Amino acid sequence: MGAVLSAIGDFFMTIVNAIAAVCRAIINGIVAVFSALINVLTCGYCRRGHSGTTRTHGRRHHGTTTSTI
């Protein structure tokens, strides 16, 4: 009887582990997609907003400092 219960327990543990592995894979996939989207959006924002602003400000500061000195 103990062997049967042990076999049933092992069977259920295998099923639970398989379900957990599938859930982990799905969650990891979702996280990877979201992190890729965030990277794309952040890089696009940096290219458009931050870099352009830095370039413009950089030119202005250089022009201002040269004319002041």
CA-based torsion, 50, 52, 55, 58: positive or negative = negative
Residue 48 DSSP one-character state:
I
The SS3 of residue 69 is coil
Q: Rounded to two decimals, what is the model's pTM?
A: 0.51
Q: How many CA atoms lie within 13 A of 12 on its CB side?
A: 5
Q: pLDDT in tens for each of the 69 residues of the chain?
A: 788 899 999 999 999 999 999 999 999 999 999 999 988 888 866 766 655 555 555 555 555 555 555
Q: Helices then strands (H, E): number in the chain?
A: 2, 0
Q: What is the pLDDT of residue 1?
A: 78
